[in-house]
Amino acid sequence: EPEEAKVKADEIDRMLRELSKLKADDLEIEKELKGCGLENPSAEVSVKLDDGTVYRIFFGDESDGKRYLRAEGKEQIFMVYKYKVKRILKTADELKEEEGKGEGEGQEKE
């Protein structure tokens, strides 16, 4: 059963901003899912909108400092620089708010 924990809201906002402005750095025309690591993706991001629509992006292997990715339901495979992917893909520990710290706590006050 998944662990319940408070999340860092500012980190979630940052991830969503990065995801919303994500643009392909390259197109892969001749590759198949299997050759890109997209047959069994190493990561997946799902976003559910207020209207219930769900968008999924699958992340595959790395090549030349970029990662392969594909949107669910689309055949086109894109490549995005690894540093952009790192801004979106976070571990549960990276998103978990430290115990005892509420939002805004631990920041310097003027």
Residue 96 DSSP one-character state? B
Residue 43 dihedral angles phi and psi, to the nearest 5°: -155, 160
Q: Taking Cα atoms as reference points, which of 69, 57, 65 lies closest to residue 28?
A: 69
- Tell me the pLDDT tens digit for each residue of 64-94: 999 999 999 988 999 999 999 998 888 888 8
Q: Kindly give the pairing relationship between strand 54-63 and strand 26-28.
A: unpaired
What's this model's pTM, rounded to 2 decimal places? 0.74
Residue 2 DSSP one-character state? P
- Tell me the pLDDT tens digit for each residue of 13-51: 888 888 888 888 888 766 777 889 999 999 999 988 899
**pLDDT reported for residue 55:** 92
